[in-house]
A and B are shown apart, each in its own frame.
Chain A
């Protein structure tokens, strides 16, 4: 079911993905403001929409400073990794029937692999910065992402069991009768929490917690290199939201409206949820984060997997 015009899909998803990531800066600020009884950026252009443009111009004009004490090649490569890995993951996301860059039969595994690679960016950035705060941020990031990746993968296996396939379009097709969020509600909650940890968003933003670690792993970055981390983070939010809507909420499936619109609506809903959680929740302590991950989430995920497996086994 790969698209007849792969170049068009690639370009479309690249452009739309990037512009959504850029727009998210505005969306997030406006939504945060809404939930804090403020207005947010509303001066530049209609509803402050041109703020995105202004920010982009500003960040390109900034001095791109490489401190003399850093490990230069790694320092330069690190921000690119996060960007590339997230963009690669977008390749397997089915936006609508036929609009997908590459319909891999192991699409889900590819997504998990790419999001695991993303951790290198953070660790390398923290390491090469030669700065104790950055290193602490990198350390936290590696511990956090490794432990949350374990049950992130496992929480999706319930979906795979139900759909009987690793291919994302096949998973969407399998939700024709019922969205997987109903039989896999626990899996959905677990994946959502893991998604927060994967994208390093509040409440799991310990690697960059600005109140304790300056800015964590990107303390030393400036200009467009910092912008890459930023865009990477927003692309990550978009990616996780898109994955949630594909895996649990039936992707492009929906009445009346065309598939793309349904997909975008669902994705935007979860992006807003990410922002809402940021507005509402404080950040836990690091030991709480780790013990929560290993002692609560992992057993829950395994139980979910076992029960789903048993049900599927006896059903068929």
Chain B
């Protein structure tokens, strides 16, 4: 019986507590930089697309909402011909970001992507691609990878020695 009265009293004391509600549209909540929101495709420091159209993100995606088509430019650089994310299916798990070998695909702290029509939630490459480098500045896949592309021969990547000409090693 006493505990009932005590409960009522304690609840009454809550009248003088601070309310913990965040008045959302007027007052934005703090979201960590690694919050998993709207997905973007970033560029490398030289302004080229980071994505190499390896399809790893599409494979990792548990709901299969990423679609892309690989192609090559005149320099032999692979890039996606189209890149489509259906945000009405995306569950913002972040697996695509985990899977990406080039830091191209990244999730951002923006979650306000509501639409009145479902088909407006299908984002094409031009909607996804941003001009900056996102969360990982300074990283350039093509400068590190040993692959040969136009303008960069074998052995010219960072931390790489020029390949040895095996014929000069002959006795």
Tell me the residues in window 25-50 of chain A with beta carbons closer than 8 Å to chain B beta carbons. Answer: 33-39
Main secondary structure, interface of A, reads helix
**Which A residue's beta carbon lies closest to that of B16?**
A34
* B1-15 near A? 1/0 per residue, CB < 8 Å: 000100110111011
Instruction: Verify if B21 is at the interface (C-beta below 8 Å from A).
Output: yes
B90 CB to closest chain A CB, in angstroms? 29
Are B12 and A276 touching (Cβ within 8 A)? yes
Shortest Cβ gap from A178 to chain B (Å): 24
Tell me the smallest distance from the CB of A64 to a CB of chain B, in Å. Answer: 29
Q: Which residues of A contact B75 (CB under 8 A)?
A: none
> Are B14 and A37 touching (Cβ within 8 A)?
yes
Cα A34 to Cα B19 with chains together (Å): 8
Contacts of B117 in A (CB 8 A): none
Number of interface residues of A (CB under 8 A): 12
Provide the residues of chain B in CB contact with A281, threshold 8 Å. Answer: 4, 7-8
A277 within 8 A of B: yes
A36 to B14, CA, bound (A): 7
Q: Give chain A nearest CB distance to B3 CB in angstroms.
A: 10
Q: Which of A144-199 contact B (CB under 8 A)?
A: none
A257-278 at interface with B (beta carbon < 8 Å) = 276-277
In the docked arrangement, what's the CA distance between A215 and B8, Å? 25
Q: Are A39 and B7 in contact (CB under 8 A)?
A: no
Q: Known A276-B11, A279-B11, A280-B11; judge A37-B4 contact (CB<8 A).
A: no
Contact A38 B11 (CB under 8 A): no
- Tell me if B119 is interfacial: C-beta within 8 Å of chain A: no
What distance in Å separates the Cβ of B5 from its nearest Cβ neighbour in chain A? 10
- Is B7 a contact of A37 with CB atoms below 8 Å? no
Contact A277 B8 (CB under 8 A): yes
Task: Assess the B20–A35 pair: CB atoms within 8 A.
Answer: no
Q: How far is the CA of A280 from the CA of B7 in the complex (A)?
A: 6
B18 at the interface (CB under 8 A from A): yes
Q: Could you tell me the distance in whole angstroms from the C-beta of B59 to the nearest C-beta in chain A?
A: 43
Does B17 count as interface, using CB distance less than 8 angstroms? yes
B-side contacts of A37, CB under 8 Å: 14, 17-21
Tell me the B49-79 residues at the A interface (CB within 8 Å). Answer: none
Measured CB to CB, the closest approach of chain B to A206, in angstroms, equals 17
Residue of A nearest to B11 (CB): A280
Q: How far is the CB of A285 from chain B (nearest CB, A)?
A: 15
Q: Tell me the A residues contacting B by CB distance below 8 Å.
A: 33-39, 276-277, 279-281
